[in-house]
Structure 1
Amino acid sequence: MQKYPPQASSPLTSFENLRERIAGPDLVRTVAILDVLICHDGGLFMDWWHRTLPFHLAVLGFYGVMLFFVLSGFLIGTIMLDLLERGTSLKGWDIFLTRRWMRTLPAYYFWLFALLIPLAYFGPYGVTWDEARRVLPWFLTLTQNLGWPMVSNWYGVTWSLCVEEWFYIAFPALLLTLLACRLKPAAAFGTTLAAFFIVPLCWRLSLPTDVNWNEVTSKIVPCRFDSIAWGIAAAWLYRSSEAVTRLRKPLAIIGTLIILTTWLSDVLPVPLWTHHFQSMALFDVAGLGYALCMPAMMRLRTLPPLIGPAVRSISTHSYGLYLCHLPLVMMAGDLQARYGLGRRHAVIFTILTTIGGAIISWRLVERPCLKLRPGQFLP
């Protein structure tokens, strides 16, 4: 496989090395988690006052998760390209998966069991205790939406984690299979990447036209593999083309315009596309827009002192925020309905428990597990 230009191969600093983390990924994570929080918490807060969250804010959840997917694809794509370029052994790929799982799974299982406690002792928030017990095996094996819609509304935010975890397995598995068939590394990587664009589109096209887009098309694991693949493609181009590095600012402007156009498409005087085309292609249009922004993101090293620490803190706690925010706001709604908790107190309860939950998740689970991760040696 060709050597990549050194100026396009910026080293990635992980969460273990807080001092050398670059600002770009932190800013992206912050924007993504704020989008999700506005959509989920904001929507439920408005519902408590019998109002509706404006459409452009309600759809921010989609754009936030999409941004998480593309960023994740970019970062893991960079690592996989390193492994591929150096002809890393199977042990190196095992370490890659181990590092990914130690970053994501401990906090997931921590919250999975922690959220069962109030459900068992204080009654339902979203689902009953019996339903939670029935679907628990699916959640334990991360198969709750593997090839079908979510088996339960309980802990619904985990659908996106399933997409990522199965991508971590499926992409390297196909890539290593093609390498074992003696394809050249670049051809194997390109073929694998193409498959992760083609299969999701074909899967979505195979679904009935009247299915629930939000619950079926957008959440079944194989239907969303291309969302992460856009980040992989951006990483490949960023590393292999000096032109992409030079043109990062114009590309970011184009990408931002694509995102803004799709976000505001419902108020445009002329429809951009038919409803069916949108349901099939929105993932790839938004994925392209975000992918074009990734090279500029990697060149953003610092932020102004007034916002830099806040962005880094939100980014650091973004995974814990994502895992705990929706169950906690649903719990607050249940406390209102069954125990008479006031609406303002429910908002305060949601904010405090969400922030506290994210801090606990980071300090007691995520950070200790990061310190235990094996180093990614590249023999």
Structure 2
Amino acid sequence: MSHVHAPMFDGAFLGVDLFFVLSGFLITSLLLKEHQQSGRLDYWRFYKRRFLRLAPALLVFLAAYWLLAPLVWPELDDINQDVVVSALYLADYGIAFFDSPDTLLHMWSLSVEEHFYLVWPPLLVLLLAYTARKQLWRPVLLLVALMFVWRVYWLHTQGQQFYEVFFRFDTRATGMLLGCALAAIAVHRPEWMEALHARQKYLLWTLPILPFAIIGYEWGDAGALLWGITLAELAAVAIIVAVIKQTGLLFEMLSLPALVWLGKMSYGIYLWHYPIVRYLRANLEWPWVVAIGLPLSALLAMLSFYTIERWALGLRDKGESHAKPAHATAPAKYTAA
């Protein structure tokens, strides 16, 4: 809704931080479970799985954009550059420092994720080598605090330049690291997670308040980089704690068939929606952008999922166990990530 420019959804751009926390939690849960079972991490397997999950659909989308963008936006003269920057997962720093890509602005968050995938597994192994397993959450939480301070530092040294802080991996890593810390507790200190889950009702009471606090921020508001992101990340933690045992009202709501299906389509919707919405919002009022843009994005996402994505997922999972790690539980709608 943020990309649609719908009224009262100015702060919806902070919703991506929910995903960052969830991503850090799921990826780290899988990595820690693998390390528990074998005493090591298979980097090649990890990066191959990530590549097959993300790259094929991305390359098809970028190819379609490269062919169609000159017809839709004939005034653009940097289409090739935008495609290359996006394909190399450099959109986060490209936008922050060079304003590229533009009509593929949404590629920044995928680039942030890719940088996380590159940096975190070897760093996790290093932390495990020098930290007792049950204390792993401590240095990870320290990293969360340090990265928050780093974001504040850049925000002030750059004269509160929103773009130069909002889009970069190094200034947006707090959410993913917070999810990593929660995963370390879930896997290595399950009794702690049980205690947190037992108190979930107190955490869930905060959820109705947080959206209103987040919505209060507008695009370009430096306060969103200080506290809006933090509120969104804490909301994500509360949701994960509430659903990790796959019981309770919130879990049942997130497991509704429509939401499960939407989760499967989410990557494709993410890829296709922004250029569609950007074109429509330049010519139509926001209700029409929603009514036309979102169904069209979902249709293209279905086409992507049932062709290239499902084929790539089959390659990814070929010959591998389909067993899910006991502590890497989450609603089914999230497991395709």
Range into which the TM-score falls when normalised by the shorter chain: 0.7 to 0.9
Contact 2:20 2:175 in 1 (8 A): yes
Cα distance change on mapping 1:115 and 1:170 into 2, 3 Å: same
Q: Tell me, what secondary structure is at the counterpart of 2:102? A: coil
Aligned residues: 309
Contact 2:277 2:293 in 1 (8 A): yes
- Residue ranges of structure 2 left out of the alignment (5+ in a row): 324-337
Contact 1:39 1:60 in 2 (8 A): yes
Q: Aligned to 1:222, which of 157, 165, 170?
A: 170
Distance (whole Å) between structure 2 residues aligned to residue 267 and residue 161 of structure 1: 23
Instruction: Name the stretch that deviates more: 344-353 or 135-144.
Output: 344-353
- Pairing of 1:85-104 with structure 2 (within 5 A): 85-90=36-41, 92-104=42-54
Question: Larger Rg: 1 or 2?
Answer: 1
Q: Tell me, what secondary structure is at the counterpart of 2:252? A: coil
Q: Tell me, what secondary structure is at the counterpart of 2:312? A: helix
Q: Name the residue aligned to 2:2.
A: 39
How far has the Cα of 1:347 moved from its partner? 5.4
Q: Once superposed, what is the RMSD of the aligned Cα atoms?
A: 3.3
Q: Name the residue aligned to 1:131.
A: 78
How far has the Cα of 1:348 moved from its partner? 4.8
Contact 1:237 1:244 in 2 (8 A): yes
Q: Name the residue aligned to 2:275.
A: 327
Cα distance change on mapping 1:58 and 1:247 into 2, 3 Å: same
2:61 is the counterpart of 1:111: yes
Distance (whole Å) between structure 1 residues aligned to residue 301 and residue 24 of structure 2: 23
- Pairing of 1:358-377 with structure 2 (within 5 A): 358-374=301-317, 375=320
Distance (whole Å) between structure 2 residues aligned to residue 172 and residue 196 of structure 1: 16
Contact 1:320 1:359 in 2 (8 A): yes
Give the structure-1-normalised TM-score.
0.70
Contact 2:112 2:169 in 1 (8 A): yes
Instruction: Name the stretch that deviates more: 313-322 or 169-178.
Output: 169-178
Runs of 4+ that moved beyond 4 A:
187-190, 275-278, 342-348
Q: Aligned to 1:356, which of 294, 299, 316?
A: 299
2:211 is the counterpart of 1:248: no
How far has the Cα of 1:364 moved from its partner? 1.3
Contact 2:185 2:192 in 1 (8 A): no
Q: Name the residue aligned to 1:26.
A: none
Q: Name the residue aligned to 1:287.
A: 233
For residues 150-195 of structure 1, the C-alpha deviation after alignment (integer angstroms, 9 at most, x for no partner) is 523221111111111110111112233456xx52463677545633
Contact 2:210 2:232 in 1 (8 A): yes
2:149 is the counterpart of 1:201: yes
2:85 is the counterpart of 1:142: no
Give the structure-2-normalised TM-score.
0.78
- Residue ranges of structure 1 left out of the alignment (5+ in a row): 1-37, 47-52, 269-274
- Pairing of 1:154-165 with structure 2 (within 5 A): 154-165=103-114
Q: Tell me, what secondary structure is at the counterpart of 1:130? A: coil
How far has the Cα of 1:332 moved from its partner? 2.5
2:257 is the counterpart of 1:309: yes
Distance (whole Å) between structure 1 residues aligned to residue 151 and residue 89 of structure 2: 20
Distance (whole Å) between structure 2 residues aligned to residue 107 and residue 267 of structure 1: 32
Amino acid at match of 1:291: V
Q: Name the residue aligned to 1:81.
A: 32
How far has the Cα of 1:201 moved from its partner? 2.9
